[in-house]
Structure 1
Amino acid sequence: MNALAHPNTMNTALRVRGLSKQFEGAPTPVWSNVSFDVPRGQRVAIVGGNGAGKSTLLRCCMRLVEPDSGSVEFAGQSVTGLGLRPLAKARAQVGFVFQKHNLVSRLSVLTNVLHGAMAYSRTPRLWFHSIATREHRDYAMHCLEQVHLGHLSGRCAGELSGGQSQRVAIARVLMQKPKMIFADEPVASLDPQAGEDVMQVFSELVRSQNLTLVFVTHHLDHALHYADRVLGLRDSKLHLDAVSQQLSVQQLRGMYE
């Protein structure tokens, strides 16, 4: 067995066992009995056709959508059955990046990044960069520099391009100081070059900050180039779990037939 596809349990960031989900009124489950482990520092892509349940799986892992059965452990802690407060504390350790960047367009880039710290601090001084502490402002600038946008800190978020907006959203996640990042089709709304830039930023961050990345994508070349491992959903089950270097685009296309 390959160590990447089957990690040592002592080094596991995310453990999923027997996860199943069926929406009310649907004749069949989205998927059932899904199990996999993700080791710390790994980049994992989730692929599959429309309706395969890729985004649902990502959300079920942190109970943004409640699974019907199964268990999930994050950083050695079970998140299954946690109450609202401890669940919120667990989620604060995971950064979420979605297709929609959800920036406040009238506020500065720096202020938008500062908002990421609200995951662990409720001080109103995080609402605007002009009243934030120097420590928070400096760290927000550091996060912007990590995504190569420090020079745009004072610009209004509404003036950014799509690729720049997504990188600011990533910087906001870094402000959260996460252990893991979940990204749901993070480049779906971007042009090809901007998409490559964003995926390259993700890849650099995983290596430089020892983050774990799980991302949903329809870009098969991204799954092969920017992931260490690929999970594929098909026919209501986890159909594929393999190291990306052992796969080809042609093999991944089989997940869509």
Structure 2
Amino acid sequence: MIPAYAPAVRKLIHEVADNIMMPRFQQLALDEIVEKMPGDLVTVIDRESEARLTEGLLAILPDSRVVGEEATAADPSLLDRIGEGVVWIVDPLDGTANYAEGKWPFAIMVALAIDGVTEAGFVYDPVKKRMCEAVAGVGAFVNGERITARSTGQPLPVGALPNRFLTDEERQDFERRMEGRFLPVPIPGCAGEQYPRLVLGENDVALFWRALPWDHAPGALFLTEAGGRIARFDGTPYRVDDRRTGLIAAASPALWDEAAKILVG
């Protein structure tokens, strides 16, 4: 059954989108966008959204903790106990670079994990007003309608397969493995859009080099509950407290196996 807290979480996410995020979309001043580190932006909206989400989520489950992207940037030790107890995992603005440029896609993402296992996930697209939601053992839903992942049906798997974090040597090997075996498509720069693409029949496979929990906890559960698969390169199931890099996600277990055979060997 759907957890009793789910309606309150949806309401909170909609409130943040409507009152904080969308009124400032395409309205940010240059001094409201800064680099946390080279190539990694943060805006005033990230911080305001996370503050409101944190306040609201703690009110919904008072005995919980919140691990948010921006709070963790200030205090990395927050990740040390992410696998213990009842923890909300928050990405207050996934796709910050897109939002800062005044373009779609971007999303709000929230997950609830208990002892390192994701129990519920929420991925909200404020532009499309699309709420992707999942509950472990219950299923995946888009705006309240149950959904099952489907492939694109293309002759070759449609893959969002970035090579940004690879060395030149790794990139050459990667491209050699991919050649003629995937139909490559651009990545959206937003995990909150990439996971729905896998479920909705737009992409078959996605590769993620970084595996930060706020980027993947909600979407990974949504994909899995819809019938897809996500795992580490060695096939280990995804957990929020596993700090290794690298994930392969696919619209079905069979597509995952095919992709892993090509990409990992």
TM-score, normalising length from structure 2?
Answer: 0.28
**TM-score of the pair, normalised by structure 1:** 0.29
Q: Which structure has the higher relative contact order (CA within 8 Å, separation 6+)?
A: 1
